[in-house]
């Protein structure tokens, strides 16, 4: 049986937070609307563990939604951040740390010839779409249902993730004129993209999560990404990989390394900042040369290239450059996948476990999920019950069916065995 599980302090802190913060949180999915109950307030993290304000300890499969691939409070990251902090928090001016991180990014992503750092994934996507439209002198953008590219106005169309969790596929306050130039098509449906290009001659770019992580983990079908590459090249449009989530996650060089596809432009975030708020966009040199101050496409940010954030990113990427890390991470994630796949038939629950690298999702569906419509058909009530059953057993998973799980390198075999046992027991509890 799970050990005693208390949430008294989380409940108290949530009541106080609601008096001062919108909904008591600073990002919608943290409100636990999808799973019910009181949001868990955390006090600290170390290695594979999170500890909440009630003293409950969890093996963490969220990792701050992806960036903590090394686990919490990694020693090397903390040490470099501390040394950097002593020199100052921010300069609003160039530092050598920006160049050092840029070199590491280019080493990982051969498609990136030049890079621009920003402060968030949303900012990187807004900037790269402006660049794509300027470079092609075209207006329309193709995205895919359930793929989330930040909360920019023109992209809140069938955006998955937090919007799906709240049952708000679009957002009030976004004029229809802002989204009229965005075509949202079914993920993994190459025919719909081909049809769009035959209908419109003003498509500037296709932006895609090469491995979808904001409708839960949904892999690309064989040939889907290569088809996008072929169609964009044929129609003088740009291919943008949104690797905010997959960059340095599914491989050191992201999904483009894993699948052997070279996009024109790439957005990055999450792991790039080692737990600090960092985003970036980059790509072909001729395209990036159009960004100010080299070119006329304007984009700026006072905290872009912040030295503390750059330091965290450098300390993280230097460790990830050792490819042995990814082999071990793959082995560990595969160990869990194999165990869950064996366990599901024993529990009487209709579920499927989907994984790419160290990203995964357990869907409460009878068959593999290939797009957003199928993800929405999964049993979210079952997932909510499963979430709390896992929490009571000391494993923290995303409080939404539409978010990916993330494995970290801090998880050892004994941790993985506990996670597997917790999953099987929680599935049995959910079935009953």
Contacts of residue 209, Cβ cutoff 8 Å, sequence gap at least 6: 144, 147, 148, 149, 242, 245, 246
Pick the CATH number of 75-320 from 3.40.190.170, 3.40.640.10, 3.40.630.30, 3.40.50.720: 3.40.640.10
pTM of this structure: 0.94
The H or E element containing residue 203 is: strand 203-208
Q: Using alpha carbons only, what angle is made at residue 46 by residues 45 and 52, rounded to the nearest 5 degrees?
A: 30
Please count the other Cβ atoms lying within 10 Å of the Cβ belonging to residue 28.
18
The pLDDT of residue 167: 36
* Confidence tier at 163 by pLDDT (50, 70, 90): very low
* Confidence tier at 134 by pLDDT (50, 70, 90): very high
Domains in the chain: boundaries: 8-61+323-431, 75-320
The pLDDT of residue 153: 67
The residue among 235, 249, 177 whose CA lies nearest residue 206 is 235
Mean pLDDT in residue range 197-203:
96
> Any idea which residues carry the catalytic annotation?
148, 242, 270
Q: Which CATH fold topology does 8-61+323-431 show?
A: 3.90.1150
The residue that leads in pLDDT, 4 or 43, is 43
Q: Tens digit of pLDDT for each residue in 309-356?
A: 999 999 999 999 988 999 999 999 999 999 999 999 999 899 999 999
């Amino acid at each position: 049986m799970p050990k005693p599980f208390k949430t008294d302090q989380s409940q108290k802190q949530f009541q106080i937070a609601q008096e001062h913060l919108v909904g008591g949180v600073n990002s919608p999915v943290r409100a636990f609307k999808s799973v019910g109950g009181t949001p868990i307030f955390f006090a600290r993290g170390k290695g594979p563990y999170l500890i909440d304000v009630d003293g409950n300890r969890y093996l963490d499969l969220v990792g701050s939604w992806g960036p903590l691939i090394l686990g919490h409070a990694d020693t090397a990251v903390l040490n470099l951040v501390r040394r950097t902090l002593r020199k100052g928090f921010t300069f609003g001016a160039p530092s050598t740390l920006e160049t050092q991180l840029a070199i590491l990014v280019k080493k990982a992503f051969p498609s990136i010839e030049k890079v621009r750092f920003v402060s968030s994934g949303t900012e990187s996507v807004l900037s790269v779409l402006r660049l794509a439209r300027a470079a092609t002198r075209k207006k329309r953008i193709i995205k895919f249902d359930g793929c989330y590219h930040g909360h920019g106005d023109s992209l809140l169309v069938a955006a998955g993730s937090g919007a799906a969790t709240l049952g708000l596929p679009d957002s009030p306050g976004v004029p229809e004129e802002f989204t009229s130039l965005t075509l949202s098509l079914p993920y993994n449906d190459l025919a719909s993209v081909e049809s769009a290009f035959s209908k419109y001659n003003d498509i500037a770019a296709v932006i895609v999560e090469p491995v979808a992580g904001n409708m839960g983990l949904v892999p690309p079908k064989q040939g889907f990404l290569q088809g996008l590459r072929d169609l964009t090249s044929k129609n003088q449009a740009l291919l943008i990989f949104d690797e905010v989530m997959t960059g340095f996650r599914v491989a050191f060089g992201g999904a483009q390394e894993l699948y052997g596809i070279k996009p024109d432009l790439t957005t990055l975030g999450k792991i790039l900042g080692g737990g600090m708020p960092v985003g970036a966009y980059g790509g072909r040199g001729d395209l990036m040369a159009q960004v100010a101050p080299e070119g006329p496409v304007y984009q700026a940010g006072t905290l872009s290239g912040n030295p503390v954030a750059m330091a965290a990113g450098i300390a993280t990427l230097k460790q990830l450059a050792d490819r042995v890390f990814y082999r071990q991470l793959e082995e560990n994630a595969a160990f869990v996948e194999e165990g869950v796949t064996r366990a599901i038939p024993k529990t009487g629950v209709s579920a499927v476990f989907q994984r790419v690298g160290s990203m995964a999702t357990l869907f409460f569906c009878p068959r593999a999920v290939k797009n957003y419509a199928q993800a929405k058909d999964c049993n979210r009530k079952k997932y909510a019950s499963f979430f709390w059953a896992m929490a009571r057993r000391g494993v923290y998973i995303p409080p939404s069916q539409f978010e990916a799980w993330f494995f970290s390198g801090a998880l050892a075999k004994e941790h993985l065995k506990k996670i597997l046992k917790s999953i099987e027991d929680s599935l049995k509890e959910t079935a009953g």
